[in-house]
């Protein structure tokens, strides 16, 4: 599959929406995460709309709320915005309590479209890899960077894996499961 200028435009849009954001522990530009998620999705068969949604997956939640939703719809179409919405746990500001929004997100995940599950699995795999890498750098203090702390974060990643498995497994979900198991063993 060949990526068109739509994908380049989506990358530019994502970079603009997340320009001042950094990763929680490493402090790396947030763009690195967005590009890795798109790369993981592409490696696992994403089409261009799915790759665009992958690079924009946090745009509504962390990059502009309803205004970002409408910008995505206008620039990239209804399918892309539906995938991004399905990958989003809230568009509310301020965000609802952490456990409440994570439970609601998980409840819809098993019945989500294959495109949403692909983007979510790619996102969670990149996040889980970052947790492992950051744990090697900062040790147990890592958990202080997460709203759910150690217990909540471990719970969340495990139930996301289980929800994705309910919908069907594959190499991406298997790799996510293995990565989460390594985090659980470290913790």
Identified catalytic residue from 49, 61, 71, 177: 61
- 148 lies in which domain range? 5-186
- Torsion-angle region of residue 182: left (phi > 0), alpha (psi -120 to 50) or beta? alpha
How many structural domains comprise the chain? 1
89 is catalytic: no
CATH of residue 98: 1.10.3210.10
71 is catalytic: no
pLDDT digits (tens, 9 = 90+) for 5-15: 999 999 999 99
Is-above-0.85 flag for pTM? yes
pLDDT digits (tens, 9 = 90+) for 76-97: 999 999 999 999 988 887 888 9
What pLDDT does residue 107 have?
93
- Average pLDDT value for the chain: 92
Among residues 99, 124, 109, 116, the alpha carbon closest in space to that of 165 is found at: 109
Identified catalytic residue from 47, 62, 91, 134: 62
């Amino acid at each position: 599959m060949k990526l068109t200028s739509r994908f380049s435009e989506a990358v530019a849009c994502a970079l603009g929406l997340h320009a001042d954001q950094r990763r929680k522990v490493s402090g790396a530009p947030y763009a690195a995460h967005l590009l890795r998620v798109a790369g993981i999705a592409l490696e696992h068969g994403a089409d261009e709309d799915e790759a665009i949604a992958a690079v924009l997956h946090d745009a509504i939640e962390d990059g502009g709320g309803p205004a970002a939703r409408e910008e995505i719809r206008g620039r990239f179409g209804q399918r892309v915005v539906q995938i991004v919405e399905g990958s989003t746990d809230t568009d509310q500001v301020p965000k609802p309590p952490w456990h409440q929004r994570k439970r609601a997100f998980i409840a819809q995940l098993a019945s989500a479209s294959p495109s949403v599950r692909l983007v979510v699995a790619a996102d969670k795999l990149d996040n889980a890899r970052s947790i492992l890498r950051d744990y090697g750098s900062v040790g147990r203090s890592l958990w202080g960077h997460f709203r759910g702390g150690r217990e909540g974060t471990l719970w969340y990643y495990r139930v996301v894996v289980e929800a994705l498995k309910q919908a069907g497994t594959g190499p991406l979900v298997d790799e996510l499961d293995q990565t989460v198991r390594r985090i659980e063993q470290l913790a």
